[in-house]
A and B are shown apart, each in its own frame.
Chain A
Amino acid sequence: MTGRDTDASVDEDRLLSAGESLALIERQQQAAQRQLGFNPTLILGLWGAAYLFGFGAIFLTYPTAVPLRLRGAVAAVNIGVTRLGLPDDAVTLLWSGSSLLLVGVLYLAGGALWQDRFQYGLGVWMLVSGACSVYAGVPGNFAVVSLAGGGGLFLAAGYFGLRYHRRQAAA
């Protein structure tokens, strides 16, 4: 009962007891999850870099560069509000703030859905960052989104990478 059940094992056809079967199920589940696990480090890191460099570049070159970002429903709402005649600075704040707001809500939902406290926390962080960016005014908002938003995603990338490797080692 000690050796790994490899392909060539002779006793493969031997019927297992109920306890042995349950143990086998658990072992195989862990092995499968370990091998099928997904490491989100890269994708979170890329998003972090996009935030950091994208918004960072806008902050550094402001007001030469004008942010043009389209994101579905948020874009529609923002364009609608803009048409009512909002001051330019307010429009800029609306764009950067609502982007982070949307991302934050998505991570909140993900965290709730997968019962993942860290992901939920990341959502809260993005929401807070979004709110802070608005209060920072233009062009400080871009710095906040770049550093707090991008930084939060980098932190998440690091955390999930660490967690992934720990699970790999544990299972």
Chain B
Amino acid sequence: MSADGSSGAMSESVPEVLPELDPVIHAQARLRVTVALAALPTEDQITFPRLQQLLDMSAGNLSTHLRRLEEAGYVQLTKTHQRRTPVTYVSLTRAGRRALEDYTAALRLLLIPQTDQSVPTDQPGG
């Protein structure tokens, strides 16, 4: 019970800017897809079936989510052929990797108790 620790209410008005969570990533399935792809080294690609196996998702479900991620520019789908068999490669784009980093940072910020926010006031005009 420290004196300064319990005085959250009297601290100078903390701007209530809760970070917004990226709706594209903030959905279980797409979050899992993004995290799995981020586990690959940068620029590396993974085939669709391998990703499907890794995530234990149905093909239809995975492709739906991948399309959504592709629309957001987070994922790159490359369709090619190997001996007449169509192969789809999936990779996380730079924007996708960045989005996941931002999302994780936002989550961490959300989990910090309000009273512990000892943010240095380095913002201009306070």
Contacts and interface: CB of A to CB of B under 8 A. Distances in A.
Interface residues of A, number: 21
B40 to A, nearest CB: 7
B54 interface: yes
Query: Dominant SS at the B interface?
Result: helix
Query: Dominant SS at the A interface?
Result: helix
B108 interface: yes
Interface stretch (B7-15, B56-64, B117-125): B56-64
A18 B40 CA distance: 24
A153 B51 CA distance: 33
Interface residues of B, number: 22
B1 interface: no
Given A7-B58, A21-B107, A22-B111, A32 B35 contact: yes
A28 B111 contact: no
Interface in A1-48: 5-7, 12-16, 18-19, 21-22, 24-25, 28-29, 31-33, 35-36
B95 interface: no
Contacts of A31: 36, 54
